[in-house]
A and B are shown apart, each in its own frame.
Chain A
Amino acid sequence: MKELICICCPMGCHLQVDDSDKKNIIVTGNTCPRGAKYAKDEVTCPKRVVTSVAAVDGGEINMVSVKTSDSIPKDKMFDALKLLDNISVPAPVEIGQVIVKDVLGLGVDFVATKSVSKQR
């Protein structure tokens, strides 16, 4: 039995999820169908888009913001973030530019979410 707070609306229903039978996950405590769907996704494969920054070399600002191009499994977040620790991207950086290709072999890239021009 797992306990979750639903994030679909401000109600924030406290959900109880019985996932002892993976084929028949039972959700209680929800006040609408969206809560049940949220809980099932969250206990079967919780995923998150990860956002962070990477250092820029010779840019107008020191850091460029990045995100994973798609959501990745929650338990891979910190391993993915480590890939950004020791890199330095040469300026200029274009929004959408791939910063780390194929993060952890997940088929997802870290891409820049802003442009950083060269230092004037």
Chain B
Amino acid sequence: MINKNLVIIGGGPAGLAAAKSAYDAGERDIVILERQSELGGILNQCIHNGFGLHTFKEELTGPEYAQRYIVEVQKRNIEYKLDTTVLSISNDKIVTAVNEADGLIKYAAKAIIVACGCRERPRGGINVAGSRCAGIFSAGTAQKLINIDGYMPGKEVVILGSGDIGLIMARRMTFEGAKVKAVVELMPYSSGLNRNIVQCLKDFDIPLLFSHTVVDIKGEGRVSSVVIAQVDERLNPIMSTAQEIKCDTLLLSIGLVPEKELAEKAGVKVSPITGGAIVDESMMTSVEGIFECGNVLHVHDLVDFVSKESEDAGASAAKYIKDGAKSEAKVSIVGADGVRYVVPHYLSKTASLDKLQLKMRVANVFKNKRLVAVLDGEEILSKKKQIVTPGEMESIILTAEQIKKIQSGEKLTLCLKD
């Protein structure tokens, strides 16, 4: 058993930023455990640009953004172990991991930061009917095959899902000589950024079909076509609209699922909406000393926001190791009337903060609304919104004064009003 003040699970953008800021807050006894053979996480395969506009005020590619944080971690001589898979964490903060060099490793940690991101939702997650042939990939798998391994997964492609990964892969496959026949989106809107719809689809005249889904996959051995159909308001396919598209490849970009199992087995309470932990303003979960940040907590649109959130988590963990836990009394923060969830879920009544960012996602596209914060029935804050969409995270930054007021209450509700 190795004693370690802070064990960080995951060496992607969240883990790296958390390590850096925990170090800068005075913590020196840190280890990062990373499953892959290099630091940087998913950024290593996201070779497109557009990362870092908020953090560095310039447009970087994914690997370049990762490199900035890897350099910071290496400059501080923070220990990290690669090719190391965490098997379990317990509620008394024992971390069990395994790798080829050390075999089984056990850490007795004072604090743990869970920063292990998401995995992609697979075909089984939405039960697409049809042949179980080759040629069906998650978009991220195709991305890794092309960008890291140098293999082309197919020539004629249909993409299901218009989130950012699906859009980015439409362009990427086109650049590598494939024909992307259509991007098919179940919802009447895209959860991807407008910029990606324009620069990844419109630039190449790739059709984007809203309110459509894949109802059948045909092929023996390899995909030979997919059948798509329009859906009604209740998202049920209208079979009379079915049409067959010849293709050899279907990419699925149908959502991300937080890798919540490690934390959940340690007894961490999980939100049924985000799939990630329920946390307070310090990013601490329901188990004292276990923190969560980045995409495992809730899916972010921009890595810049992951870094920021994780820096907060790192600093909080360092403070917790030094000072111990705070009092139990908390104000609960919830979403209602169009606001699907808010992170953090709680605000400690005794925390002393200069500011606090509340992050939230809406349930639908709304125009000309007010984003309102209601404390025990009283409206304390309102922000005009020309448009809100599920694809873009909304946030409100609370001032020290507003935080104090909220700490005197019991329940803060974020909602949309006319």
Contact = CB atoms under 8 A, between A and B. Distances in A.
A5 B203 contact: no
Interface in A33-52: 48-52
A44 B150 CA distance: 36
Contacts of A52: 47, 175-176
Nearest to A46: B203
Given A63-B147, A63-B149, A95 B67 contact: yes
A113 to B, nearest CB: 4
A31 interface: yes
Nearest to B197: A5
B49 A51 contact: yes
B271 interface: no
Size class of the A contact interface (CB-based, 8 Å): 20 to 34
Contacts of B175: 50, 52, 77-78, 81
A49 B49 contact: yes
A11 B392 CA distance: 11
A119 to B, nearest CB: 12
Contacts of B194: 5-7, 9-10, 12
B146 interface: yes
Contacts of A78: 175
Interface string B214-243: 000000000000000000000000000000
Interface string A32-74: 0000000000000000111111010000111101110000001
A32 to B, nearest CB: 9
A115 B391 CA distance: 32
B59 interface: yes
B44 interface: yes
A41 to B, nearest CB: 13
A7 B198 contact: yes
Contacts of B202: 5
B148 interface: yes
A48 to B, nearest CB: 7
Interface in A93-120: 95, 113-115
B389 A10 contact: yes
Interface residues of B, number: 32
B198 A67 contact: no
Contacts of A49: 49, 59
Contact of A114 (B63, B149, B198): B63
A56 to B, nearest CB: 9
Contacts of B392: 10
Nearest to A11: B387
A31 B150 contact: no
A50 B388 CA distance: 30
A48 B47 contact: no
Contacts of A48: 199, 203
Given A7-B199, A51-B61, A95-B63, 10 more contacts: A6-B194, A10-B391, A48-B203, A49-B59, A63-B150, A65-B61, A65-B63, A95-B67, A113-B47, A113-B64
16 contacts: A10-B193, A10-B389, A10-B391, A48-B199, A49-B49, A51-B49, A52-B47, A53-B47, A60-B37, A65-B61, A65-B62, A65-B63, A67-B49, A77-B175, A95-B67, A115-B67
Kindly list the 9 A-B residue pairs having the minimum CB-CB distance in the complex, ordered from nearest. A114-B63, A65-B47, A62-B150, A7-B195, A12-B194, A113-B61, A63-B150, A10-B392, A113-B63
